[in-house]
Amino acid sequence: MSANVYYDDRSGQVYTETSALVTSMVPAWVSSRPGSKHHLEKYRHKWPGAPSLLDMSFRCLAWNGFDMDSLEYLDWLLGEKFYTWLKNKNLVSFKDWLAFREAYPNSKVIDRDFSLYIFSAGRQDFSRDLPLLTKHLKSLPQTSLTYLCLQNLSFSATDLMRLTAMPNIAVLILQQNSLMTMGKNHNNGIHDHFMGSWRRAISEKNSFSKLGVMAFRGFHTGLSATFSCFSVFPKLRLCNFEPGHVNQGFDRSEAQHQSLGDWERLPRLRVSVNYGDNGLYETQYNTSAWYIRIHPPTQASLGSTKRARDEPDTTTDPGQKPKKRNIKSGKQKSIGDMLGGFIM
């Protein structure tokens, strides 16, 4: 494809002419005969370019863009092929998926949910794509929930602050790049003090209001500082935590006596199976643990909330002091029981 620029002396405008070399697919059928020679519609072009006229039309349609209005006049027989073609080439965006769902609501071919996989080469690409990803998530309906998985990326403190602008996240998986876990000083600004700042930012923006499951792995933060930050998530129920450094305050011998607020550590798995590339799993130290949130006791379980009032002085002896009403031992509740305790 080449572009030529022309200048018009009369109007003073600059014109750009783009041309592309077009070759016929018919000569390839003579030298190469894939498929059956009795069914010419099954023949495919094996050289570079579109393998068939239908594929060429799909490329043109995808390149020029389409919307709900254009799909309204497209028969489902072609619409199904077009959607399958886009899906096989990993070209289905959220806007495209939503247009197909609205155009063909009764289709069993179109996915019921939308998944987007982005593979970044490093932290620079991730920081560049994060604002665009946030923009796409903000365009989702308020009733939709999002599963966001960001793994093996070199997160910085700025990146985590930008995540607070993403709405409707139900499941959030954050895993720091393994190269950032080689030493104690490699934290990219994410440490215990930052977790307090992140907590304040989340509380002020009311972020992660729908977050129910979270994984926080590979960061140089302590257990207490991390769960102190997670306590502001109103709907968070399940959390996976793995420190970035093996000596980062994760002593298993003291784990049973360490207070974690309203979180309880689940039993350690006896058998686990990882199927796939070993490089994708950081299991050298096996310090990852799952925690489940303990629901605070209900009002009914707390019993009566009436305060004990001083009984009026009914004694006749002027030298005797008035007696106060005592609370029964079974009715006594501590503040910790009312708010929930951190147990491991």
Mean pLDDT of all residues belonging to the chain: 69
Q: Is the pLDDT of residue 214 over 70?
A: yes
| 129 within a domain of the structure (yes/no) | no
The structure tokens 């197909």 sit at: 100
pLDDT (tens digit per residue) in 78-91: 888 888 888 887 77
Is residue 335 a part of any domain in this protein?
no
Interhelix angle 76-88/94-103, rounded to 10 degrees, is 160
Angle at 73 between CA 69 and CA 78, to 5 degrees: 115
Is the pLDDT reported for residue 281 higher than 50? no
Decide which of 49, 65, 87 is a domain's last residue: 49
Q: Is 246 domain-assigned? A: yes
In a domain, 248, yes or no: yes
Number of structural domains found in the chain: 2
- Whether 177 is in a domain gets the answer yes
Band (pLDDT 50/70/90 cuts) for residue 213 is: very high
State the average pLDDT over residues 321-331: 58
Q: By residue range, what is the domain housing residue 11?
A: 1-49
Helical spans, DSSP H, in 140-273: 157-162, 192-205, 223-230
User: Given pLDDT bands bounded at 50, 70 and 90, which one contains residue 50?
Assistant: low
Whether 21 and 161 share a structural domain: no
Q: Output the pLDDT for position 20.
A: 64
- Does the global pTM surpass 0.85? no
Contact (CB, 8 A) for 111 and 97: yes
The answer to whether position 227 is within a domain reads yes
The SS3 assignment for 27 reads helix
Domain-located, residue 11: yes
Strands (E), 63-155: 146-153
- Residue, of 180 and 279, whose pLDDT is higher: 180
> What's the rounded mean pLDDT across residues 14-30?
60
Domain termination site, one of 34, 49, 64: 49
Is residue 41 domain-shared with residue 164, that is, in the same domain? Answer: no
